[in-house]
């Protein structure tokens, strides 16, 4: 029965001090952590744009797509017409546009159809306040190529995105997430 009476545990003051130190530490680190998480999400969406861009390039060079006698020719024309700035986005296409060799080639490469995916599905970054992200949009300037971008996105990670409707050459001055 020789219990040690000096072992009383932590005092209330000690516990309050430890909890206060933890609260201050969390308060200082949380904003930095949230910023890094958002930047990681922007990087993931940039990679998704790059995958879509690569899939389109593969489709444009696919012999089955080039020789197809369906809407594939219209897709190829949209990407190769010289000196034309066009914006392609999900809502502008009907069912006939999806039932062609070009879209099948892009879908096979990606594993999903980027023009027929519900808005925001598969994207990681947060859209500008009050907006939903479209899966992707494309601006074309055949002299320079084409770029895939995400409307109402913000590559700086500050959630102040914009809808890009300018020319291909103005993409770098915009806030949207894009890949050329």
The tens-digit pLDDT sequence of the chain (180 residues) is 556 666 677 888 999 999 999 999 999 999 889 888 888 988 988 998 899 899 999 999 999 999 998 888 888 888 877 666 677 766 666 677 788 899 899 989 988 888 776 655 667 776 766 666 556 778 877 666 888 888 788 888 777 777 788 888 888 888 888 898
Give 3-state DSSP helix, strand, coil % of the chain, rounded to 5.
45, 10, 40
pTM > 0.85: no
| 3-state secondary structure (DSSP) of residue 29 | helix
Catalogue the long-range contacts made by 77-85 (C-beta closer than 8 Å, 24 or more residues apart): 78/140, 79/140, 79/142, 79/146, 80/142, 81/140, 81/142, 82/142, 82/143, 83/141, 83/142, 83/143, 84/140, 84/141, 84/142, 85/139, 85/140, 85/141, 85/167, 85/168
């Amino acid at each position: 029965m020789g219990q040690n009476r000096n072992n009383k545990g932590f005092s209330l003051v000690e516990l309050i001090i430890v909890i206060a130190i933890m609260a201050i530490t969390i308060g200082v680190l949380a904003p930095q952590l949230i910023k890094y998480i958002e930047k990681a999400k922007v990087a993931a969406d940039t990679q998704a744009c790059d995958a879509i861009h690569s899939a389109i390039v593969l489709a444009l060079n696919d012999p089955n797509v080039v020789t197809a006698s369906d809407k594939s020719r219209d897709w190829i024309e949209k990407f190769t017409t010289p000196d034309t700035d066009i914006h392609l986005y999900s809502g502008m296409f009907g069912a006939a546009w999806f039932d062609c060799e070009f879209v099948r080639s892009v879908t096979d490469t990606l594993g999903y159809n980027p023009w027929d995916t519900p808005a925001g599905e598969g994207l990681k970054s947060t859209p500008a306040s009050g907006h939903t992200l479209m899966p992707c949009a494309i601006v074309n300037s055949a002299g320079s190529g084409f770029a895939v971008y995400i409307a109402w996105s913000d590559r700086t990670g500050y959630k102040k995105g914009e809808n890009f409707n300018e020319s291909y050459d103005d993409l770098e001055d915009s806030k949207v997430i894009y890949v050329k």
